Structure 1
Amino acid sequence: MSTKQQQEEEKRRLVRERVRDFPDFPSPGVLFRDITPLLKDPLAFKAAIDLLEAHVKASHPKFDYVAGLDSRGFLFGPSLAQRLGVGFVLIRKKGKLPGPTESVSYTLEYGKAELEVQSDAVKPGQKVILIDDLLATGGTMRAACELMSKLQAQILDCIVLIELTFLKGAEALKPFPFYSLLKYD
């Protein structure tokens, strides 16, 4: 293993150590992956952004925006966008953005929801990377892909910090590219 690979593995280990498990939250049988300790630790947060930045630079040398999903995508997206020298776009829950918006409805495990983006957030053909903290069933990220597609953006990647692989959310995102920093079975 090269020195660079060792450094990346050490950063990944630090990030993983700062994800805390809460059994039976928010309901019995659910194991919640809590990123609060990661956010409280500046070295671990920096390691997470470093790893995400390395992935994006290696995979997508030129693009226009990082688009973050409400609300935890807002924690990682602006830092990543700033590092990469691009703008940040908000993808919000319905009713949270001023001005003209585009929206898409989607199904959650417990009902329906809607995501919105300002109509002028991206121009047709602009290249976008989507980011959120976690991928479970993939419904929210898939809705964000549909929203960006409505604006005729080119989606280069869907990125998350944590993927719950047993819920098969990555399959719901096809054909859009997908990357997760940490995987949990």
Structure 2
Amino acid sequence: LEATTDLSRLAECDAISICVPTPLSKTRDPDVSFILAATDAVVAALRPAQLVVLESTSYPGTTRELMLPAMEQTGLKVGVDFFLCFSPERVDPGNPTWKTRNTPKVIGGATPNCTSVGNAFYKRFINTMVPVSSAEAAELTKILENTFRAVNIGLVNETAIIADRLGVDIWEVIEAAATKPFGFM
């Protein structure tokens, strides 16, 4: 396995992982320009038997609606000639326990065959693979993970404000709530 960021070598690659920024625009809409630029670069070098995986966070439908049409304009057929998947990055930088290898990896393809090929690629260096029914299911998984985290951070922050006003130690409350064996994360 050799990794490169050299776009001139894309045609040499058997597997291409797209990990580009996906910021929000000034109007809070998804800015998919980096994904589109990366897709254009891949399309220029796309050849039979290549696996292309988007790992960047984006809305459900990005892989199928934005990437797939451009790739199929090459005349190659998805799931037969090339393989397209979405597999969200789940890196937690600095976490001493959860590294790339032992963090379960979700993968969903544009077709079932795409999912199988993507799963076979990643399981070579990821301990636990979690194949799902489609690219959209994998994309929505990432949105749920991020939303779940944001909602819980917001909830704890709001509860901390209430605790402060009541003169209660928020950490005592969190530790006590965490003793419930179900329903509390």
TM over 0.5: no
**Bigger share in strand:** 1
Q: Which has the larger radius of gyration?
A: 2
**Bigger share in helix:** 2
Q: What is the TM-score of this pair, normalised by structure 1? A: 0.30
